[in-house]
Amino acid sequence: MENLIEIKGVRHAYKTDAGPLPVLDGLEIAVPEGGFVAVVGPSGCGKSTLTRLIAGLMKPDHGEVWLHGERVKGPRSTVGMAFQNPVLLEWRSILKNVLLPLEIVPSKLSKKEAEDRARFLLSLVGLEGFEDKRPSELSGGMRQRASLCRALIHQPEVLILDEPFGALDAFTREDLWQTMHKVKEREPFTGVLITHDLRESIFLADQVVVLSGRPAKTQYVLNVPRTRTPTLDDLYTPEAAEQLNILRHQIQVAQGRTTEDAA
């Protein structure tokens, strides 16, 4: 199977006053088309750097990032991004916010078609009737839903989610997890999710990559077998408990809290 995203031997260091600060060292990630990878790891291990590399906002010092058989050398319009901060533009309506990427990316859609698509996406995430509201009139969870629609409006091949649910309360978060599955069924994409939440990672992703502490390398990859769309109940099965246990253990190794070898 061809991999849509391929990260090969990526090393990267930030320049600081105290000399180079290596954040990524030997990163290997491969995501097949339509796959959904979650990246977990100790905080400050370079997870956000990873998203910027995939989006082409940064170039790695060494190694290669490939998207759809092409080496990433700069930003590309086939990527959609959503962050922990929904960064909606306060002076635009929700609908106009969702349409923003189409003002940058060349699109075949007419104005009418684009609006219809935005309305469709908003209804898909449960924001029907909020098209003309301002972001300040929406709750945190709703803003995040709108931000998701904006990331998808130009039909990106790759959706990069950098802790998009991190600032939400537990119930809203679980709601959004289910929304994500619903969206993915209707609007297929290849996903990269950065998260701190292990339950979120096994609920959403089919592959969970554990990064080691800084400088980060791929420490462990857990495959989450999927036969159907999971429900929240699936998080309380023995299999889920087993997966979470493995991930928890790997994170502890990554944090250096246990001396046992990761392998």
Partner 1 sequence: MNKHVQSIAVPLIAVAIFLAFWEWLVWVNGWPTFKMAAPSDLPPAYARHWDLFLTMGWQTLWRTILGLLLAVIFGTLLGMIMGFSRIMRDALYPLLVGFNAIPKATVVPIVALMFVGQHDFNTVLLAFMISFFPIAVSVSIGLSTLEPEYRDILRSLGASQATIFWKIALPKTLPEFFGALKVAVTLAFIGTNLMEIVSPHGRGLGALFDSGRTNSDFPLMFAVLIALAFLGIVLYYIVVALEKIFAGWAERSPG
Given 9, 56, 63, 126, the residue binding partner 1 (CB under 8 A): 56
CB atoms within 10 A of CB 260: 9
Encoded one letter per residue, x for contact with partner 1 by CB under 8 A and - for no contact, window 150-189 reads x---x-----------------------------------
- 197: tokens are 């939440």
Binding of residue 109 to partner 1 (CB under 8 A): no
Closest CB to partner 1 among 163 and 200?
163
Amino acid (1-letter code) at residue 80:
G
Q: Min. distance of Cβ 178 from partner 1 in angstroms?
A: 25
- 211: tokens are 């990064």
Under 8 Å between Cβ of 27 and 199: no
Measured between alpha carbons, how far is 179 from 192 in angstroms, rounded to an integer? 16
DSSP state of 101: G
Closest CB to partner 1 among 154 and 217?
154
Given 1, 18, 19, 91, the residue binding partner 1 (CB under 8 A): 91
Given 2, 17, 90, 261, the residue binding partner 1 (CB under 8 A): 90
Q: Min. distance of Cβ 165 from partner 1 in angstroms?
A: 15
Residues 124 to 143 in contact with partner 1, rule: CB under 8 A: 134, 136
Whole-angstrom distance between the N-terminal and C-terminal Cα of the chain? 26
Binding of residue 44 to partner 1 (CB under 8 A): no
Binding of residue 77 to partner 1 (CB under 8 A): yes
Task: List Cβ neighbours of 155 (8 Å cut-off, separation of 6 or more).
Answer: 187
Binding of residue 240 to partner 1 (CB under 8 A): no
Amino acid (1-letter code) at residue 156:
P
The CB-side HSE value for 28 (13 A sphere, CA atoms) comes to 6
Measured between alpha carbons, how far is 205 from 5 in angstroms, rounded to an integer? 15
Q: Min. distance of Cβ 161 from partner 1 in angstroms?
A: 13
Residues that contact partner 1, how many (by CB under 8 A): 25
Under 8 Å between Cβ of 166 and 196: yes
**Which chain residues interact with partner 1 by CB under 8 A?**
52, 55-57, 74-77, 79, 81, 83, 85, 87, 89-91, 100-101, 103-105, 134, 136, 150, 154
